[in-house]
Amino acid sequence: HTYHLTPVHSATGAIRLEDPKSGAVWIQLADKSMLMNSKLGQRLADVCQSPEQLQVAESQKTNPPPNLLDPSPSKGWAQK
């Protein structure tokens, strides 16, 4: 298939490209990329990785990023 993707703003900072006509959505994260069909709600391709993304994924295995739902002591939150 051929898709004509255009950039769309993402609040998370992920690279997001969409083709509204076909429903194709390409999402690129630091460690992987995926192609989705928003009309069907299905992933067409998952865990697509460039060599750079593979390096990030491997480093996250030993140094996982912080959990965004955990309070950060550096934010000045009171600890009990």
**Is residue 39 predicted with pLDDT exceeding 80?**
yes
Each residue's pLDDT tens digit, 41-75: 999 999 899 999 999 999 999 988 888 787 766 65
For the residues of 16-71, what is the DSSP string, one character each? Answer: EEEETTTTEEEEE-SS-EEEEETTTTEEEEEEE--HHHHHHHHHHHHSPPPPTTSP
The pTM of this model reads 0.70
Q: Residue 75, SS3?
A: helix
